[in-house]
A and B are shown apart, each in its own frame.
Chain A
């Protein structure tokens, strides 16, 4: 039932560097969302981008969406050790109300 695939599966960077994660999906969407999951915890909603939007910012987060390529990217700037977590993209298909998650990217930020 998963719609998205994320790349890379794992990413390790130094604190202060930028982290970029990519997501590809398969069908027509209403919106795409990014979530963070700390180890052993629930998922936390980060940002939502609608199908008619191309870019969105929230603090240190920047999300882009290319519906022609069915892809999205999440950029975290000036990373911190506290950003260490798994990041998931999730899509709401056109005409639907349910959210399908990608496989996730495990981000490790080294202090």
Chain B
């Protein structure tokens, strides 16, 4: 298995532009999580899905952020419009259930200038 696949690995965009981050979870995993990591705030859970349904999006910073999971093998995190304070590394993770460890992707490093 190739693990959790995220794309792109790096993204540099100008303030105000739309940014879309992509994630392919491990086949058979029914939970998917989006995290954001910054030096100041550490690892923050943004949203998680179970069986493609959003369960908890309380960590989503504001309306500029949205996430979808149209099927079991694909999820997107969109920021529109992007702002410099959105600069961070965004991680996607998947798991079978909470009794097992999560598998993380390599992350997308987003820089908004």
- A-side residues, CB < 8 A to B, are 1-2, 30-31, 33, 35, 41-45, 48, 50, 88, 92, 96-104
Contacts and interface: CB of A to CB of B under 8 A. Distances in A.
Contacts of A45: 101-104
B98 A97 contact: yes
Interface residues of B, number: 27
B25 interface: no
Contacts, number: 66
Name the prevailing secondary structure of the B interface residues. Answer: strand
B14 interface: no
B45 interface: yes
Q: Which of A44, A88, A101 has the most CB of B within 10 A?
A: A101
B101 A42 contact: no
Name the prevailing secondary structure of the A interface residues. Answer: strand
Interface of B: 4, 31, 33, 35, 42-45, 48, 50, 55-56, 58-59, 91, 93, 97-107
B48 A97 contact: yes
B105 A97 contact: no
Contacts of A30: 98-99
19 contacts: A1-B44, A2-B43, A2-B44, A33-B102, A35-B101, A35-B104, A41-B106, A42-B4, A43-B102, A48-B101, A88-B43, A97-B31, A97-B55, A98-B45, A98-B55, A99-B93, A99-B98, A101-B35, A103-B42
A96 B98 contact: yes
Contact of B104 (A42, A98, A100): A42
A100 B45 contact: yes
Contact of A42 (B31, B97, B106): B106
Contacts of A35: 101, 104
Nearest to A98: B48
